[in-house]
Amino acid sequence: MRTNKIFLASDHAGYNLKEDIKKFLASKGKKIFDLGPNNKNRVDYPDFAHLLSKKIKKERNQFGILVCGSGIGMDMAANKHKNVRAALCYNIKSTKLSRQHNDANVMAIGSRLTNKETALKCVNLFLKTKFKGGRHLRRIKKI
């Protein structure tokens, strides 16, 4: 899937994985907007989840990637925002279904629960998997 913008943010627990994801996406020629943090100093994950979520618009070609220790907090904070469908992606199947069935535009990853290799595979899959539409669209409209 072609994307115009990929927003990336983490907290201190997700900082190293965020940097790995940034390098991975850059190697694929993707345009990345790193919203921070810029170091491993302790920060509050909701601040970065809200910052990223405000950048996501209705257009289908903008995606966000959030990384914290478990991915859960970032996911919960992001889903407070209109037009954000954040999904906790912890393996290939959860990632694929988040896009095919839920048209997720933000993925949350837990750096303490998902190893780097799996996380990078999930990021790649998230960005190229298409939404199936059909009966799934009807359900999304109910959110």
Query: Which residues are known to be catalytic?
Result: 101
Could you tell me if 48 and 74 are in contact, meaning their C-beta atoms sit under 8 angstroms apart? yes
Q: Could you tell me the two tokens for 99?
A: 């896009």
Q: Could you tell me the two tokens for 101?
A: 């069935």
> Distance between CA atoms of 91 and 8, rounded to whole angstroms?
19
For the beta sheet containing 86-88, the strands, ordered from the edge strand earlier in sequence to the opposite edge, are 32-34, 5-10, 62-68, 106-110, 86-88
